Structure 1
Amino acid sequence: MGIRLSGMASGMDTEKMIKDLMKAQREPVNRLQRSKYSVEWKRDAYRDMNTLFADLQTTMKNLRMSSTFNKKTAISDNDSIASAKVVGNPTLSSYSVEVVSLAKASTPARAEFQTSVTNSKDAIGGPDFTITIKKDTNGDGTMEEVPLTFSGATDSIESIVNKINSSKSGVKASFFDKKLVITSEDGKEFDIVTTTNNLNLDANKIYTAGTTGDPARFKINGVEYTSSTNSFSFDGIDFTLKQSNLNSPITVGTKTDEDAIFNTVKDFVDKYNAVIETINKKISETKYKGYQPLLDEEKEALSEKTAEKMETMARSGILLRDPILTNGLYELRRALSTSVQVDTNKSLSLSQMGIGGPPSGKNAYQENGKLYINETKLRESIRNNGDDVLKLFTNYSNASTNAEKYNASGVAERLFGQLNKIMDKVTKEAGSVGSGYDDSSLGKKLKQTDDDIERWEDRLKIIEDRYWKQFTAMEKAMSKAQSQGSWFAQMLGQK
């Protein structure tokens, strides 16, 4: 950059004049920058829509699986005898349950030591001592010894408990109500030998051998079984036995879990309605032609509130009548409204199950495809025609033609596929968040705009330098003319 002379001879504000001249020259760059903002807004709006579609598709996954519509609940006619909960897929509708006897838990071998200690943190006092734990850890009759040494001056009941518990000797210790209790971890027999100590542990030892437990005995549909505990799983049902009812069997029945299925369908309908409402707003949003993206210097010249309002108006209608969303919305509606041909003579529809359009009326058209649930009718369908509800949503077809496959596919299967197609189109147009490489149409357009802006910035720098050279040359010429004029005036004055 050469020397710039700013109005030294002419008295003009050269810098302001060049800045004003450059404003006109920068207009192509400003147009490109505004265009870039518009493209970025459209890209972001598309990506927001794809997030909604993906969320709806996640909701659809459960509706595509038959297990969703095969959910059952178990009901015991006497919960005080045995309760039941479905955790799998029961094969029968009812089970006769007779509890012969409840399980009795085993008790592990234990050694109890009565002490006079009231504070477990106080030092025991007296001489140092050893506690030796003898245990058949391998189950072969060989007693292994684990000696643990303690200091009477510093160790307390608390430290004795901690050292025993960390010794890996197969026993665990606890202290409560002045009583030190050592219990076998695996139920096997053990022995405790101590040397002389202030606690007088040997004299106060009470040893109790472990006892074996008894299994629960019960009959299901007349067949006797045993279980090590009173809770067990049988044919997809978790049973919990509570008391004996010998010779007085109770019935545990299974039925369709109406609430779970209804709530799953309702969640889908709510999510679908929210998505299409958002789509309808976007494709019908008003476009304000007099508003365009603000440049940074324009924002700085306005108040924050005014700039925010103007930008909101400029963003409005960015997806007005967008063909991808408009066509996608049509396909989503068609996927739900077309009957499912489950066999040659039978077809099923959402309206048959209690899911239809808005109530009739002069404003019904404004709902734009929103679904409504007739709760009574849907619950009756789930309760009495569960197999039809299942087929309506999950039916799968491997027909040879696309048309036949479409007509025979369940509405959840269709909708899932249509959402895939819409999201693919949006991704092709706008790319996706977090993608390392953006090969989308709008991504390419943004890159081209950035390249154009960069070329224009280089060109503007050359133009600005030219203006400065011209004004600088003018200033030099004027300065020279002024110097010559002064010389002539001086010479004339001397004469």
Structure 2
Amino acid sequence: MVMRITGMASGMDIDKMVSDLMNVEKIPQTKLRQKKDLLSFQMDLYREVNTKVASLRDSLDQIRYSSNMTGMKATSSSTDVTASPVSSVSASTITVKVNQLASSAQYTTSAVSKLGFIGNSVSAATNIQAGVNDSLAVALDGTTKVITLAPNVYDPAQLQSELQIEIDKAFGSGRINVGLNGSNQLSLDPVAISTGYQPQVTVYDINGGLGNLGFTPGQSFRLNINAPLSDMASKFGNGTTLSVPGQFTVSNGTTTATIDYDSTDTIQSIMNKVNSSSTNVTMSFDAASDSFTFKSKLTGAASQISLNDTSGNFLQAINANGASVQGSDASIDITQDGGATQTITQSSNKFTYNGIAYSLNKVTTNDVTITVAGDADSIVNKIKNFVNSYNDLMDLVNRRLAEMPSRDYAPLTDDQKSSMSESDIANWNAKVKQGLLSNSDDLKNIKNSLRELLTKSVDGVSSDFNALYKIGITTVPYVVGNQQDAGKLQIDETKLRDAIAQNPTAVSNLFTNNPGLESQQGIAVTMFNRANDMLSSLIKKGGKATSMIYDDVTTDLGKQVYNLELNISDWNSKLSKKEDDYYKRFSDMEQAIQKSNAQISWLSSQMGG
């Protein structure tokens, strides 16, 4: 950067003159910034449309499946059994008695840990030195504290006392008792809570202090599922000494997974291997009960689990070797309209029977009554929601296409914004945005693509109900000069309810048919697919509705914004050099004037002036 000299010799305001000159030089960059702002405004407008299309798609999602458009509802006399129609069914009264729920195969072991925490004998004179061997970490059920012993030479009883004091400071008194036996072995005994559960205690070395206490890194009161198996070999309550490496199998009756392990594995890593296997069997550990559970993700009598050691003895160590269990089917008595009772079995507690989806929540002692009745309101309300979303989208599209650009309004520069209030800036920007989408092919496509479906006849549906207008859904009458309401929908609710009452299946099919042929595809199915395509196109154009990023190069407009930002950045360098050049020229001028003034002064002095 050149030295910037003010106009002391010339009397000129050099800074003002350079600033004025630079304002002219900045014009190309300012135009680039304004172009970038226009593109950002366009992205905002497209994202606004994106939001409306997404809302329409959500409303269509509620009417494109026949299970949502049955026109019937099921009311249960008890939460023990709930039900809902998923296809065309008649009004009826059904009684249900749940004799047995479906269950998954599950095996839970007995307690597995060899409880206790005792170290090796400690020295008769243990020398604890500050920063050398004075620290260890103690974890009590996941809460870890650093324990630092005071420097000293301790006998075993003194070492017990000092460790107790520091543990009490860290966790509070009465949480962990430090013991000492006749063999000079220290022990850590977690105090049981009200339920009788004794928390897990684990120790870790920091600077050698652990060894002075006779403890080993990772030593724990009960099984430590995150410690290497090599440290857990003798921690099993049934007396088994774990041998590694080894393997065991988990079978669900049709698929068998072989689980390998070695000394570097942990119980947690073994559980992860079981849980990620192809058997649909999960393995978990419950610290409170000190037990492992193997459970099938599937329910029913076909759900099975078989566990067997093939080498090593891991399953034996956790009391699970040779375990074999099976799930059970649900048993239900169903009586419809006073007819014969049918006893059925199901592998799941959620199933569909004769067009009704049931959820079994409890075994029942008394019959549960399911009343199936007409529910025209559910269809009418979903169709109203669709129409409202459709009209909201059309209103916005019509408005954006009809807007005339405001030629007198350009994006504000930073200097202009600095002298305006926030509300004035917002109003100005609204004028700038006006008409930016007036020639948008994307918006024209949205309007035309959706409107053509409003008169579509769905093949395969009863001819009395195979088009929207036949069930009371028509376009708003055109009024000359009123483009705002063009293409919007209106509902004749009386006609719609009459159609539902006469043939709810046909009304449902008009929206939900999906046989694979476009001519037979329901209105909601086709419109949902088109709305999806529109969203993809709008996202490609201007980004997701929730995005705040404008230079995303994966979008069409974002790529243009990114390129403009690069050009603007280049201009910053050019303008900086140009400003330095102007200051250099004025500096040269100032120096020339100073030299001239000096010469005039000298001549004047020589002439006696």
TM-score by length of 2: 0.54
Aligned residue number for residue 317 of structure 1 = 435
2:417 pairs with 1:417: no
Using the alignment, how far apart are the partners of 2:483 and 2:404 within structure 1?
A: 19
Aligned residue number for residue 448 of structure 2 = 330
Give the Å deviation of 1:74. Answer: 4.5
Give the Å deviation of 1:224. Answer: 5.3
Q: How does 1:203-222 map to 2 (within 5 A)?
A: 221-222=338-339
CA-to-aligned-CA distance 1:145-179 (integer Å, 9 cap, x gap): xxxxxxxxxxxxxxxxxx998359xxxxxxxxxxx
Change (3 A) 1:84 1:381: farther
Classify the secondary structure of the residue corresponding to 2:608.
helix
Aligned residue number for residue 573 of structure 2 = 458
* Equivalent pair of 2:92/2:373 in contact (CA under 8 Å): no
Change (3 A) 1:225 1:431: closer
Using the alignment, how far apart are the partners of 1:365 and 1:312 within structure 2?
A: 21
2:525 pairs with 1:440: no
Q: What is the root-mean-square deviation in Å for CA atoms of aligned residues? A: 4.2
* Equivalent pair of 1:36/1:449 in contact (CA under 8 Å): yes
* Equivalent pair of 1:93/1:253 in contact (CA under 8 Å): no
2:501 pairs with 1:383: yes
- Listed as ranges, the gaps of 5+ residues in structure 2 are 100-108, 110-191, 198-331, 345-349
Using the alignment, how far apart are the partners of 1:293 and 1:303 within structure 2?
A: 15
Change (3 A) 1:454 1:75: closer
Classify the secondary structure of the residue corresponding to 2:56.
helix
Change (3 A) 1:275 1:94: closer
Aligned residue number for residue 472 of structure 1 = 587
Q: How does 1:130-209 map to 2 (within 5 A)?
A: 166-167=195-196
Classify the secondary structure of the residue corresponding to 1:63.
coil
* Equivalent pair of 1:353/1:378 in contact (CA under 8 Å): yes
Change (3 A) 1:367 1:90: closer
2:73 pairs with 1:44: no
CA-to-aligned-CA distance 1:437-456 (integer Å, 9 cap, x gap): 53222111111111111222
Using the alignment, how far apart are the partners of 2:548 and 2:593 within structure 1?
A: 60
Give the Å deviation of 1:270. Answer: 1.2
* Equivalent pair of 2:391/2:489 in contact (CA under 8 Å): yes
Aligned residue number for residue 149 of structure 1 = none
Using the alignment, how far apart are the partners of 1:488 and 1:320 within structure 2?
A: 74
Classify the secondary structure of the residue corresponding to 1:288.
coil
Counterpart residue type for residue 21 of structure 2: L
Give the Å deviation of 1:343. Answer: 6.7
* Equivalent pair of 1:335/1:415 in contact (CA under 8 Å): yes
Using the alignment, how far apart are the partners of 1:275 and 1:376 within structure 2?
A: 25
Give the Å deviation of 1:223. Answer: 3.6
CA-to-aligned-CA distance 1:303-353 (integer Å, 9 cap, x gap): 444333222211222212312101211111112222222279888110001
Aligned residue number for residue 93 of structure 1 = 90
Give the Å deviation of 1:363. Answer: 7.4
Q: Among 396, 403, 422, which residue is 1:278 paired with?
A: 396
Change (3 A) 1:489 1:382: same
Give the Å deviation of 1:97. Answer: 7.0
Using the alignment, how far apart are the partners of 2:423 and 2:499 within structure 1?
A: 54
Give the Å deviation of 1:88. Answer: 4.4
Aligned residue number for residue 193 of structure 1 = none
Aligned residue number for residue 12 of structure 1 = 12
Classify the secondary structure of the residue corresponding to 2:62.
helix
* Equivalent pair of 1:279/1:325 in contact (CA under 8 Å): yes
2:377 pairs with 1:265: no
Aligned residue number for residue 514 of structure 2 = 396
Change (3 A) 1:408 1:243: closer
Change (3 A) 1:252 1:334: same
* Equivalent pair of 1:95/1:253 in contact (CA under 8 Å): yes
2:520 pairs with 1:408: yes
Change (3 A) 1:94 1:15: closer
Q: Using the aligned pairs only, state the percent identity.
A: 29
Using the alignment, how far apart are the partners of 2:457 and 2:94 within structure 1?
A: 44
* Equivalent pair of 1:283/1:325 in contact (CA under 8 Å): yes
* Equivalent pair of 1:39/1:442 in contact (CA under 8 Å): yes
Counterpart residue type for residue 418 of structure 1: R
* Equivalent pair of 2:75/2:372 in contact (CA under 8 Å): yes
Using the alignment, how far apart are the partners of 1:291 and 1:27 within structure 2?
A: 17
* Equivalent pair of 2:47/2:538 in contact (CA under 8 Å): yes
Give the Å deviation of 1:364. Answer: 7.3
Change (3 A) 1:441 1:367: same
Change (3 A) 1:67 1:8: same
Classify the secondary structure of the residue corresponding to 1:254.
strand
* Equivalent pair of 1:217/1:224 in contact (CA under 8 Å): yes
* Equivalent pair of 1:33/1:453 in contact (CA under 8 Å): yes
Classify the secondary structure of the residue corresponding to 2:554.
coil
Q: How many residues align?
A: 375
Aligned residue number for residue 232 of structure 2 = none
Give the Å deviation of 1:234. Answer: 9.9
Change (3 A) 1:365 1:51: closer
Using the alignment, how far apart are the partners of 1:6 and 1:393 within structure 2?
A: 78
Change (3 A) 1:431 1:469: same
* Equivalent pair of 2:66/2:87 in contact (CA under 8 Å): no
- Between Structure 1 and Structure 2, whose CA radius of gyration is higher? 1
Classify the secondary structure of the residue corresponding to 2:406.
coil
CA-to-aligned-CA distance 1:101-132 (integer Å, 9 cap, x gap): 9x9xxxxxxxxxxxxxxxxxxxxxxxxxxxxx
Change (3 A) 1:224 1:409: closer
Change (3 A) 1:219 1:429: closer
Change (3 A) 1:98 1:457: closer
TM-score by length of 1: 0.65
Counterpart residue type for residue 323 of structure 1: D
Bigger drift between 461-470 and 353-362 goes to: 353-362
Using the alignment, how far apart are the partners of 2:366 and 2:33 within structure 1?
A: 82
* Equivalent pair of 1:288/1:314 in contact (CA under 8 Å): yes
Counterpart residue type for residue 457 of structure 1: N
2:57 pairs with 1:57: yes
* Equivalent pair of 1:94/1:252 in contact (CA under 8 Å): no
* Equivalent pair of 1:53/1:423 in contact (CA under 8 Å): yes
Change (3 A) 1:23 1:275: same
Using the alignment, how far apart are the partners of 1:91 and 1:290 within structure 2?
A: 60
Bigger drift between 425-434 and 471-480 goes to: 425-434
Using the alignment, how far apart are the partners of 1:45 and 1:261 within structure 2?
A: 33
Aligned residue number for residue 473 of structure 2 = 355
Give the Å deviation of 1:279. Answer: 1.4
Aligned residue number for residue 23 of structure 1 = 23
